[in-house]
């Protein structure tokens, strides 16, 4: 975009120039008034004006990164706190080896005392392999099982002929594991009465089976106990194989260490789990899905909700817009011719480097001696033309010195020093001689 009428601003500029020029175009004016003592001006800022942009000091670096560090600190503290809060209570839940309030070591110990061996497995394949007519398979969290695990457990239930105890199975797992049963709302009362003819329930009496799922069955098969509002929380279903059965327990409370001693919990738990000599305690683990079935491995993007890829696309659009925003300059760069920067002393320094490279001790000694002779001659009143004449200079010098210098001719008119150290010493001796003549 160019101004449609460039003459207008240009005209204004030219018009303004003479007016503004009056106070500034006369830098000699203060000088002309120098009689009044006005002498120094603010013109001495030249070297200062050439300083480069300041390098960041530690202080500025700290100031810049401080916000980021604080954010990072808050993030770490929050993560640690969150991890501590969430894992603390859940650790070892329903684990027969855990003595935590939420663990189940107490019931496992009681079973061991009655001759039941407990074996902990963490994968469905192991659980299915271990199941048999003489085993009780306890599935602690059926709802967490994937499809292949559910299949494995289902086949174990169908084929083993032993007992399978499912702890509070919900709608995700029931169709696979116990197709005859369905959930039917929540049991609000915690402690419930047996209300059935199951021997184990009768001898145990009141127990904490409520507080979670209630069930209902399609057919008349199975025994329904501990009803809450008409629907049972404990369901014993016969499985396909003779002698096998499946126990659906509406709540896991009776197995927990903290609740085992109250009501008839311990009795019910021992009778449900102790009917076979072996107990397979299946704790599903989060890593199981991948171990069990590599084909089900999912990429990170598969795990994200579907909308995220679209959000990412929109973010890319935003990034392109941000790039366009930053790329647009506020006007082009301004170029300028730079002055040459050559130091005036460059040739002299180059000569010094040449001397050193060539090891020119003879030249250096000659030059230094000649310069000293000329200065001495000026100090002693010897004519400059005779400065380099030993016959004229040496008597004058020795006459001036208080003590005799034995090697005066060698110092002022001697031969080339043979080593570098000798040349350095020669320079120092010439200085000392000149100082002595000057002060004497």
Looking at 46-54, 151-159, 270-278, 385-393, which segment touches other proteins (CB under 8 A)? 46-54
Q: Could you say which residues in the range 49-68 bind other proteins, by CB under 8 A?
A: 49-54
Q: Could you say which residues in the range 238-257 bind other proteins, by CB under 8 A?
A: none
Q: Nearest Cα to 234, choosing from 247, 218, 220, 217?
A: 247
438 is an interface residue for other proteins by CB under 8 A: no
Q: What is the Cα–Cα distance from 122 to 95, expressed in whole angstroms?
A: 11
Task: Give the 3-state secondary structure of residue 402.
Answer: coil
44 is an interface residue for other proteins by CB under 8 A: yes
432 is an interface residue for other proteins by CB under 8 A: no
Alpha-carbon distance values, 342 to 51, 64, 273 (Å): 18, 38, 97
Q: What is the Cα–Cα distance from 138 to 128, expressed in whole angstroms?
A: 11
Give the number of residues in contact with other proteins, rule: CB under 8 A: 98
Q: Are 170 and 141 in contact (CB under 8 A)?
A: no
381 is an interface residue for other proteins by CB under 8 A: no
Binding letters toward other proteins, positions 288-327, x by CB under 8 A: -----------------xxxxxxxxxxx-xxx-xx-xx--
Least distance (Å) from other proteins to the CB of residue 397?
19
Residues 6+ apart with CB under 8 A from 273: 107, 111, 116, 136, 138, 165, 279
Starting from the edge strand earliest in sequence, which strands make up the sheet with 135-139, in order?
117-121, 278-282, 135-139, 163-167, 245-249, 231-238, 223-228
Q: Nearest Cα to 125, choosing from 294, 292, 293?
A: 292
Q: What is the Cα–Cα distance from 145 to 362, expressed in whole angstroms?
A: 97
21 is an interface residue for other proteins by CB under 8 A: yes
Which of 20/79 has CB closer to other proteins? 20
Looking at 2-10, 63-71, 108-116, 208-216, which segment touches other proteins (CB under 8 A)? 2-10
Looking at 4-12, 83-91, 125-133, 216-224, which segment touches other proteins (CB under 8 A)? 4-12
Dihedral angle, C-alpha 45, 48, 53, 57, nearest 10 °: -130
Q: Could you say which residues in the range 331-370 bind other proteins, by CB under 8 A?
A: 331-332, 334-336, 339-349, 351-353, 355-356, 360, 363-365, 367-368, 370
Which of 84/334 has CB closer to other proteins? 334
Least distance (Å) from other proteins to the CB of residue 68?
20
């Amino acid at each position: 975009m160019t101004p449609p009428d460039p003459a207008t601003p240009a005209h204004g500029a030219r018009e303004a120039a003479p007016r503004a020029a009056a106070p500034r175009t006369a830098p000699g004016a203060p000088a002309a008034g120098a009689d009044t003592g006005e002498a120094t001006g603010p013109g001495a800022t030249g070297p200062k004006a050439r300083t480069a942009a300041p390098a960041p000091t530690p202080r500025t670096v700290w100031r810049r990164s401080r916000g980021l560090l604080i954010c990072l600190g808050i993030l770490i503290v929050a993560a640690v706190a969150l991890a501590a809060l969430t894992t603390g209570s859940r650790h070892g839940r329903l684990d027969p080896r855990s003595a935590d309030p939420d663990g189940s070591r107490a019931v496992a110990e009681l079973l061991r005392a009655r001759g039941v061996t407990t074996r902990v497995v963490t994968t469905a394949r192991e659980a299915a392999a271990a199941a048999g007519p003489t085993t009780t398979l306890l599935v602690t969290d059926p709802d967490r099982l994937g499809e292949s695990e559910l299949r494995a457990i289902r086949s174990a239930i169908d084929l083993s002929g032993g007992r399978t105890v499912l702890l509070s199975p919900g709608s995700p797992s029931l169709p696979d594991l116990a197709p005859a049963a369905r959930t039917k709302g929540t049991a609000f009362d915690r402690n419930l009465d047996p209300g059935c003819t199951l021997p184990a329930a009768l001898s145990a009496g009141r127990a904490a089976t409520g507080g979670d799922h209630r069930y209902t069955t399609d057919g008349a098969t199975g025994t329904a106990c501990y009803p809450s509002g008409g629907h049972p929380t404990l369901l014993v279903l016969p499985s396909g194989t003779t002698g096998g059965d499946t126990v659906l327990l509406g709540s896991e409370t009776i197995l927990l260490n903290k609740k085992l001693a109250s009501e008839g919990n311990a009795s019910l738990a021992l009778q449900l789990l102790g009917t076979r000599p072996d107990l397979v305690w299946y704790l599903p683990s989060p890593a199981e899905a991948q171990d069990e079935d590599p084909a089900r491995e999912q990429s990170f993007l598969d795990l994200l909700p579907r909308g995220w890829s679209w959000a990412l696309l929109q973010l890319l659009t935003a990034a392109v817009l941000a790039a366009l925003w930053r790329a647009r300059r506020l006007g082009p760069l301004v170029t300028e011719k730079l002055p040459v920067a050559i130091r005036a002393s460059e040739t002299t320094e180059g000569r010094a480097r040449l001397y050193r490279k060539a090891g020119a001790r003879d030249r250096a000694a000659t030059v230094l001696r000649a310069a000293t002779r000329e200065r001495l001659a000026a100090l002693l009143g010897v004519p400059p033309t005779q400065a380099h004449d030993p016959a004229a200079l040496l008597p004058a010098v020795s006459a001036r010195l208080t003590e005799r210098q034995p090697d005066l001719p060698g110092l002022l008119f001697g031969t080339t020093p043979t080593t570098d150290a000798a040349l350095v010493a020669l320079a120092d001796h010439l200085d000392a001689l000149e100082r002595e003549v000057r002060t004497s």
